[in-house]
Amino acid sequence: MSKADAILKLFQTDEERAFNQLYVAYYEPLVLFAHQIIGESAAAEDVVQDCFVDFWTSKRYKTLEAGLDKYMFQAVKYSSLNYLRGNQRKKALYDRVVQEMDKEEEMKMEEEVDVMAEVYKTIDLLPEDRKRIFLMLFVEGRSYQEIADALQISKNTVKTQLSRALGFLRNLLKDKYIPFLLLIIDKK
Amino acid sequence: MKNIEEILLDHVVGEKLSEEEQRLLDEWMRVERNAHFVKVLRKMSQGRELRNALLCRPEEGMRIIREKIRRRRRRTRLRFFYAAASCVLWLAGCFLFWNVREERPATMADGGFWIWTEEENVGVQLRLGNGDVLDLDDYGDEMVAVDSFYHVRNENNTLVYSDEEQKKDSVEFNTLTVPVGAEYRLVLADGTRVYLNAGSELRFPVSFPADSREVYLTGEAYFEVAKDSERTFKVHTEVMTTIVLGTSFGVRAYPDQELVMATLAEGRLKVDCGGQMEYDLSPGKQVRFDKRTNEGQLLEVDVEQYVSWKDGYYCFDGMALEEVMEMLSVWYGFEVEYVDAEVRRYLLTGRLKRYEDYGYLLRKFNETGGIRLELEGNMVRIEKEDGDS
């Protein structure tokens, strides 16, 4: 059983504990995810907290059958995009030119956000060591050498672990491939 | 030949690609979803500081979530009461209109309804790696948690971790949260002793991995680090990291205070302020980092003043009143308002036992003359006292 399913199951017997576990497992990746969309730390945390509050007060776990992680990432995605739109509307009042975000632009952005959600959701499924190295490189921005030194492994091991992690992420993304993307035409 | 992941990796970390590799990558990125993927990876490092901040205060988010849930409940309840109250008022109004026209139901209108005292009294808590939260006040001197990899005992306000053997490849973290007005001690799996001051939180692994010892602190703690020449011991706070091999030192990093400090009692200590400045400390030295200006300072101090709280008393020798009050407010949970700004800089010398209630403490301050302290609710108002008026 996946971690998300285990937590969802626990909600049936012990809501308090399940809610705590949900927080421990997903708060950080959700905040980082929201932050990458919104670009502001405080707003990102705020959005994620509100999603947790909604989840708890609406007792959403009672009707959810599976895909707890998917649900949380969706909720945070929509709240974050809404937050951004709200800001853009405010901005539009000043420079009236942009009445609403370009439709195409918006679709592109939403697609990117979907990929983002997959990435953050999937990191969690990596084996512990690989996850640690992945975060050290991509989030903490450390170099191969720094990671190798910190974990006392060879630089090559670091690279191997990282390319495996990327392969894993990429394959998951492939599965979510959306058909309309096939319409992209080679311009050359 | 490299596979696409390896090329991608080199590209993201900024290593030079061969012509052939670049061509393959361009080809691959022509699929929009792949291009998004690369963009997402490259942007992940924007979350660097945020991740660090989250690691330093792992419980904060949950605290706010619970607070928000409480507020939301309160709002719905208030709305209900508001409806009920206006109904009552209306009836009362009709009634009074019929009877004694000049009387008004003032008691209802002046808001007696809105006083809510739902403040929960949360004690010392330990959060386990699986998210379970244990109230330590409920445990006497007994086993708190047993796993095949570690045992945790509670012995007279001290948590003791003993690690059986290191087998796990994943590191489980626990978090100890101490509210305002309490303190707790902890012996980590490597034998390091930690005194955690009031209003503080420490996140630590139940057993340290073979290559490092790292903990995350919000608030104030004093460390007596067990010697281990192989593994350095790191204390991360939001803006400062201290690195040692074996030594005793205090760290203060309260989120609502501007100054973050590390004070060394024994041994040697390295302090890293957000990767910008690095200091090597010898005993008696203190690093102060100001969050407003992002500036660090190396000072010579009387160490006792900064670490005596762990032994249950405060002492200060020519310390600014403002700083003294910051120290005390953490323990006693009061807030301070300065009526006269200049009193902030008054210098105090003295010694105070910690467990006395603060009514007594305030009287002592008043006896010194020069300043006047008044207590209102949990707000201490400080003004200067003119001797001759």
Same domain, A57 and A142: no
Query: Domain of A184?
Result: 126-188
Asked if the structure places residue A138 within a domain, the reply is: yes
Give the 3-state secondary structure of residue B133.
strand
CATH number, domain with residue B369:
3.55.50.30
Task: Give residue A59's pLDDT.
Answer: 86
Distance from CA of B274 to the nearest CA of A (A): 13
For residues B257 and B146, state if they share a domain. Answer: yes
Q: Which of residues 25-44 of B touch A (CB under 8 A)?
A: 30-33, 36-37, 39-41, 43-44
Element (H, E) at B224: strand B213-224
Asked if B351 and B269 sit in the same domain, the reply is no
Average pLDDT over residues B288-316: 84
ipTM: 0.83
Q: Using CB atoms, which residue from A144, A159, A170 is nearest to B37?
A: A170
CB < 8 Å to B171, chain A: 128
One domain, residues A139 and A99: no
Asked whether residue A15 is domain-assigned, the answer is yes
User: Domain with B137 in it: what CATH number?
Assistant: 2.60.120.1440
Single residue among B247, B279, B306 that ends a domain in this structure = B306
What average pLDDT does range B139-166 have in this prediction? 70
Range of the domain at B94: 60-114
Q: Are residues B101 and B135 in the same domain?
A: no
Contact B50 A32 (CB under 8 A): yes
Q: Do B41 and A138 touch (CB under 8 A)?
A: yes
Q: Are residues B242 and B379 in the same domain?
A: no
Judgement on whether residues A77 and A137 belong to the same structural domain of the protein: no
Render pLDDT for A165-178 as a digit per residue (tens, 0 to 9). Answer: 988 888 777 655 44
* Residues B33, A177: C-beta atoms closer than 8 Å: yes
- Of the residues B69, B93, B114, which one is the last residue of a structural domain? B114
Tell whether A130 and A176 lie within a shared domain.
yes
Looking at the domain assignment, is residue A147 inside a domain?
Answer: yes
* Highest-confidence segment of A8-12, B101-105, B152-156, B330-334: A8-12
A5 and A95 both lie in a single domain: yes
Count of domains forming chain A = 2
Query: Do B330 and B300 share a domain, yes or no?
Result: no
Q: A65 with A6, same domain?
A: yes
Beta-carbon separation of B61 and A27 below 8 A: yes
Question: What pTM, to 2 d.p., does this model score?
Answer: 0.55
Which among B31, B33, B170 has the least Cβ separation from residue A128? Answer: B170
Over 80: is that where the pLDDT of B190 sits? yes
* Chains A & B: contacts with CB separation below 8 Å: 135
- Residues of chain A with pLDDT below 50 are 94, 96-99, 177-188
Tally the domains of chain B: 4
The answer as to whether A156 is a domain residue is: yes
Q: Is A82 domain-assigned? A: yes
pLDDT of residue A92: 56
B121 falls within a domain = no
Radius of gyration of chain A, Cα coordinates, nearest whole angstrom: 19
Nearest chain B residue to A130 by CA distance is B170
Same domain, A67 and A135: no
A98: left (phi over 0), alpha (psi -120 to 50) or beta: beta
Q: Using CA atoms, how far apart are residues B72 and B70, in angstroms rounded to an integer?
A: 5
* Confidence class for position B74, pLDDT limits 50, 70, 90: low
Tell me, yes or no, whether B76 and B165 share the same domain: no
Query: For the domain that residue A176 is a member of, what is the CATH number?
Result: 1.10.10.10
Q: Quick check: is A116 in a domain? A: no
Q: Which of residues 311-350 of B touch A (CB under 8 A)?
A: none
- Residue that terminates a domain, selected from B306, B326, B352: B306
B224 in the same domain as B142: yes
Residues B276 and B251 both lie in one domain: yes
Query: Is there a contact between B49 and A41 if contact means CB atoms under 8 Å apart?
Result: yes
Same domain, yes or no, for A3 and A71? yes
Q: How far apart are CA A30 and CA A35, in angstroms?
A: 8
Shared-domain flag, residues B169 and B148:
yes
CB contact under 8 A, A50 and B68: yes
Spell out which residues of chain A touch residue B53, defining contact as CB-CB under 8 Å. 41
- Whether residue B49 sits in one domain with residue B95: no
Domain match, A96 and A135 both? no
Say if the Cβ atoms of A163 and B3 lie within 8 Å: yes
> Does residue A7 form part of some domain?
yes
Distance between B231 CA and the closest CA of chain A, angstroms = 11
B91 touches chain A (CB under 8 A): no
8 Å CB contact of A41 and B3: no
Residue A45 to residue B61, Cβ atoms within 8 A? yes
Burial class (CB in 10 A: 0-12, 13-18, 19+), A36: buried
Per-residue pLDDT band at B62 (split at 50, 70, 90): very high
